[in-house]
Amino acid sequence: MQNDSHGHGETILVLNSGSSSLKFGLFEHSGDDEALLLEGSAEGIGRDDGSLRIRTPDGRLLEEQQHVLESQTDALQKLADVLAKQKHARPTAVGHRVVHGGPHLRTHQRLTPQVRRQLQDAVHFAPLHIPPALALIDEAEKIFGDARHFACFDTAFHTTLPPRAAQLALPQRYAEAGVIRYGFHGLSYESLVARLGTQMPARAVFAHLGNGSSVCALRDGRSVDTSMGLTPTGGVPMGTRSGDLDPGVLLYLLRTEKLDADSLETLLNRHSGLAGYADGESDMQALEKKAAAGDAQASLALEVFATAVRKTIGGYAALLGGIDLLVLTGGIGEHSDAIRRRICEGLAFFGLSLDDPAGKVRVIHTEEEKQIARHCRKLMAA
């Protein structure tokens, strides 16, 4: 099916895969930017409470299905069926968010067999993220075989990190092998820079707070430091990820519990962070409810999270010589007023307050999917 009255040219389907979710958006070029035609998400993939929802840009529900999603590829097939039913043109391009491309894939680019091989070779840099991304790419290429496919990397935005931020305190040979600070949530941070446009100040700190959370220091719109490191496990404690730990803790676990690499990875990425404090609970809304009902461990988890983010912001204020703008984004950053207030308590001496009419603290919705569509459009025109 070719373009119909819904489209004014080439549409781009953006796929943004998470660990148990798949977000997507269909875009067309309008004016000098990308306009959203429809968006949606498949949630709870692999669980019996899975759902698929597709909405118009104004929030009207076009499609809702329950208990249907065995895998991301299953979710993608359902999405393709619904797109066909909605009579939208088949996408000319498909943009894939890829969390980590390893040391050799640091720029957004067309997916070729060689790029796919390089992604496969980089699996050990992000074993939780790259295999499902590859499976989704394979399936999307089968379903949308006539479209051009592009990979957009969360690490690309952070290629501006200076050596003092990028290099780890290990022998130089490790840096040469790609063991460096990569940084993540780059597509989210890029979208905020694009949103701010000419309002982007010289010294800014962005905090993307969700199930995965990171903080980024920006000078003139470019990343100069960020809290996540070699992998998305580092930085502040997150929903189920430990964040930064004394390396001696890992040595202790290896020695006393005789954990292998896979067990250690599961512990650090699936059972730690806020879930470690709060008896397995990692959902921020659930933690806030428990804390309000007097649960001491849930209260501790919230306090630890907000304090870690606040300390990181303070460190970046020292790095930048002050902060002109603090932006909070991501699911928690955008929706939890209580966490925003906890983070900003104690930052008033930097001139950062949620209630300051000068607006040095802002909550801005992240637009990762739109940012991917922008990159795809540029790559298509190159």
Whether the CB-CB separation of 236 and 245 falls below 8 Å is answered with no
Whether the CB-CB separation of 372 and 187 falls below 8 Å is answered with yes
How distant, in Å, are the alpha carbons of 103, 156, 183, 189, 192 from that of 159? 11, 6, 9, 13, 17
Residue 11, helix vs strand vs coil? strand
How distant, in Å, are the alpha carbons of 302, 339, 341, 363 from that of 287? 7, 11, 16, 21
- 154 included as an active-site residue: yes
Total residues belonging to the chain: 382
| Cα 303 to Cα 298: distance, rounded to the nearest angstrom | 9
Residue with the two structure tokens 């700190």: 205
Q: Which two tokens stand for residue 363?
A: 């909550």
- Please enumerate in sequence order all residues whose Cβ is within 8 A of that of 315, keeping only pairs 6 or more positions apart, or say none: none
- Tell me which of 32, 154, 246, 356 is the catalytic residue: 154
| Cα 79 to Cα 88: distance, rounded to the nearest angstrom | 12
Catalytically active residues, by annotation: 154
